[in-house]
Chains A and B, each alone.
Chain A
Amino acid sequence: MKPEDEQPSEEELREAAALAAALENEPAGGGAPTDALETAALLRHARAPLAVPPAHAPVVAAHVAPALEARRMPRPRRSRIWIAISVVAPAAAAGWLFLAQSPMRAHRHPIQPKIHVAPPAPSSGLLAAQAAATRSGDAPGVALARLDREMRAYRRQYHEGLRRVHGGAR
């Protein structure tokens, strides 16, 4: 620290002029000494409370509103995706197997006439079980078990129909 009455050097005069310009936000303030600028900032902010103005709250609320709104939007539940996969994948596999084996079966039994057996109409219990399995979000286990029972009953019914037409061969 220099005594206040000491003659300033060229360097100090240049620093003082740059500081004065910087405090006035003038372009010439670019070379102002950092230590003096930091101290000036501290003193300037010390004269008023370091408080966020109350008017800032609604500004922030508006700024974050889209991010808040995005959090309020419901997201697709994973369990529903898995239910859809568990229904579609076996059906696709069964369809592929049926198509792949059809030519071989036709080759083995070329002269057998085709007998169409219409599948039975699904029961109201089966439809209700399907609907429940699609809806059940967080506890799909119970609904899927019920759907499985209903599907077994339906398949039994269908196979009985096939046996009646084909004379109980299977």
Chain B
Amino acid sequence: MSLPILPTTVVGSYSMPGWLERLKTEYFARRISRQELDEIHDAAVKAAVKDQEVCGLDIVTDGELRRDNMIDYFAERLPGVQTDHTSKKFYYDFYDSVVRGKLPMASLRLADDFRFLAAFTERSTKFCVTGPHSLVKRIKDEYYKNEEAFAMDLARVMNMELKELARAGARYIQIDEPYYSGFPEDLSWGVKVLNALVDGVDAKIALHVCYGNRYGKPSWAGNYKYLFPTILEAKVQQLTLEFARRGGEDLELFKEFPNKFELGVGVIDVKTHEVETPEIVAERIRKALNFVPAERLLILPDCGCLHLPQEVAFNKLRAMVQGTKIIRKELGA
């Protein structure tokens, strides 16, 4: 499926409806069954896909509405990780999870969720996976000698899963590693682990690094200088970074450190409910074009839309698409 120039997509999550938050929490209170919750998730995902299509996005996701958060969706499925299912009351909280032995190889069954997405849209699709560096920051380790060893073994297990996703038809896979920004000193081994994770995976791989979006607020401050030059060793095709909230100063890094990455440029601030105008979006894209050519640029929000009300998320994405169309027209595309 061919994409237009400056393809538009989301980082991963779409707005989490308040009613779904309540139903997820009802599940933890044992007031609805797992089967009922799965059916609710199916309906919610279809609605999220439809919203993205109506907004005009070129690449859609399942909105990550099945996920409680970016960690537990994987921790629950990872073989060898023990999760205490009584350890949270509110769905968005993190489980207490621990690994006490070497991780066995077994499927996480992520491809099932991808296939569901693919069955309900004609658009290009993307599937997002939390990276090992972020996972080891939240899953307690009582077996491996250090975080790097734990992360490397996670990469070994998850590499098989990514290959399964590719076999299921996932052409675009995004690895989320926001914790890089909180632990820049880990970056050197973090990139090694990343490369092991994506080794031999037949799909276009994006790496998303932001400053956190937990509860809709940043977890860390700083700038992207710490990524360079180490990140140039990453065997991914695309970086998706946040620029709307933080301003575009870090775009200079793409001039200072020439590279072949595509850039997914964040042009929508997901930490405010104020909806950008298409003109603001267009201006942000123009700025990015000063540093990265159009054929290597993708247009995204800064991060997931999880914490935005549905109406706000929808209007922001629609403005993003409209702003992108302004620039496509200027480029004669």
Asked whether A and B interact, the reply is no
Binding site for B on A (CB under 8 A): none
